[in-house]
Amino acid sequence: MIGNLLRGAAAGAAGTAALNAATYLDMVIRGRGASSTPEQAIEAVSDRLGIDIPGEGETRDNRVQALGALGGLATGVAVGAFLGIASSMGWRPGLLGGSLTAGSMAMVGANGPMTRMGITDPRQWSAGEWASDVIPHLVYGVMTYATLDATQPPR
């Protein structure tokens, strides 16, 4: 079980690297800036929990930005770990089903809390905003499931 959890976490890390690459490529192609929603989520969570993020000005802003990025990494690795455990229980949906499952879980894991906190509202997103979110999550899903499948121990 631990081996499958670690295998899944590694697959999730590979998927997260692919998601980040797809996101940065989109930023290069379209000349768009980075999303500020991860930082807004960190601010909202720290406010709700009454936790101060140390520092002032740019130092604090940099910490908030880094915490937002770490939250995305944690989500990607956690989704992969969950899928690694699922695969140990016989879950084998194939590349299409596995990719869509992994990508959807990561997208909900990232956007769900931010939607719940009122930071974003997918119902208001433009087609470009949807594409900026869906495409990298699909890339995440393909890479995560393909890595998980390729590292599957022989039966």
pLDDT in tens, 22-41: 999 999 999 999 999 999 99
Quote the pLDDT of residue 134. 96
Residue 92 inside a domain? The answer is yes
Burial class (CB in 10 A: 0-12, 13-18, 19+), 38: buried
Say if 16 falls within a structural domain.
yes
The segments of the chain whose pLDDT lies below 70 read none
Count of the separate structural domains present in the chain: 1
Residue 93 CA to residue 107 CA, distance in Å, equals 19
Is there a domain that residue 155 lies in?
A: no
pLDDT at residue 124, rounded to an integer: 94
Position 128 in a domain: yes
Residue range of the domain that includes 61: 2-150
Q: What is the pTM of this model?
A: 0.92
